[in-house]
């Protein structure tokens, strides 16, 4: 495929992502999550912990992942819920990320995401696929995730869902990058500030952290959600 054609496809996909800002996409349940970036580091291994907290409930994800090649990364998760009554394992998830373009090769960088999740208690399955985009403007970086998910199981109605996530961040320094994030589905939107950074460790190891507070804009969910992420890359 020629560079001119790839550039045209890149611009078209970018325009589609920006157009989604004005669209309320369909989903049965709003959920704040992480923002995915389309990049993969060769020989990368990772331990990850994520926590979402709102309305007296917490959702925890513990994952371990590894790059299988220069453009393919696989990660498995244990997903647990903590409420006022008990802490329980809720689901298992397998995630695959594929980097489509080299960083800086075109106007924007692209990747795709695939996820398979199994809910333990009601034997519900979810299969997701998503388009990941990122673009730089000097010290500013914009990222967009457009995710489509199909859910099926004995206890639910089979349905197709989708969600849109946007992030704009400023690279103040490696250790501190302020950002703002936007989430949307048919139940409403949410927006809020996030701060993140990297801490370099010995022997080429790295700790990445993110903390944010996301506020609902008239949707069926928590008025505010605390979002925490810690990744140990080795």
CATH number for the domain including 76? Answer: 2.40.160.40
Q: Is 123 exposed, middle or buried (0-12, 13-18, 19+ CB in 10 A)?
A: exposed
Strands (E), the chain: 45-54, 57-69, 72-82, 87-99, 109-119, 124-137, 140-152, 159-170, 177-185, 188-200, 206-217, 224-233
For residues 145 and 129, the answer to whether their CB atoms sit within 8 Å is no
Domain count within the chain: 1
Residue 43 is part of which domain span? Answer: 3-233
For residues 144 and 129, the answer to whether their CB atoms sit within 8 Å is no
The whole-number mean pLDDT for each consecutive block of 10 residues of the chain, a chain of 234 residues, reads 53 49 37 90 95 91 97 97 86 98 95 96 93 97 96 87 96 97 87 97 94 86 90 96
Cα distances (angstroms) measured from residue 4 to each of 12, 109, 132, 135, 170: 12, 15, 21, 18, 30
pLDDT value of position 131 = 98
Sign of the alpha-carbon torsion through 193, 144, 173, 74:
positive
195-206 burial: b if 16+ Cβ within 10 Å, else e: ebbbeeeeeeeb
d(CA 84, CA 42): 42
pLDDT value of position 10 = 54
pLDDT value of position 23 = 37
pTM equals 0.85
pLDDT value of position 22 = 37
pLDDT value of position 1 = 53
- Measured from the Cβ of residue 91, the count of other Cβ atoms closer than 10 Å reads 19
pLDDT value of position 172 = 97
d(CA 65, CA 201): 19
d(CA 92, CA 113): 17
The token pair at 89 is: 């394992």
């Amino acid at each position: 495929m020629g560079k001119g054609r790839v550039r045209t496809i890149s611009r078209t996909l970018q325009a589609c992502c920006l157009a989604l800002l004005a669209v309320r996409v369909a989903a049965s349940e709003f959920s704040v999550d992480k923002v995915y970036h389309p990049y993969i580091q060769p020989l990368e291994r990772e331990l990850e912990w994520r926590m979402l907290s709102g309305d007296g409930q917490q959702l925890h994800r513990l994952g371990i992942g590894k790059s299988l090649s220069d453009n393919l990364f696989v990660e498995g998760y244990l997903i647990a819920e903590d409420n006022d009554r008990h802490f329980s394992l809720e689901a298992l998830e397998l995630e695959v990320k594929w980097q489509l373009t080299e960083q800086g090769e075109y106007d924007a960088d692209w990747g795709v995401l695939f996820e398979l999740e199994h809910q333990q208690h009601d034997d519900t399955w979810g299969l997701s696929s998503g388009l990941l985009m990122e673009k730089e403007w000097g010290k500013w970086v914009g990222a967009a995730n457009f995710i489509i998910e199909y859910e099926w199981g004995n206890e639910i109605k089979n349905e197709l869902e989708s969600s849109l996530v946007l992030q704009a961040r400023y690279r103040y320094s490696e250790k501190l990058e302020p950002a703002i994030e936007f989430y949307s589905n048919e139940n409403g939107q949410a927006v809020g500030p996030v701060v993140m950074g990297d801490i370099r460790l010995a022997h080429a190891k790295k700790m990445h952290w993110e903390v944010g507070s996301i506020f609902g804009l008239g949707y069926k969910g928590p008025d505010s959600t605390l979002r925490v992420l810690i990744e140990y890359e080795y």
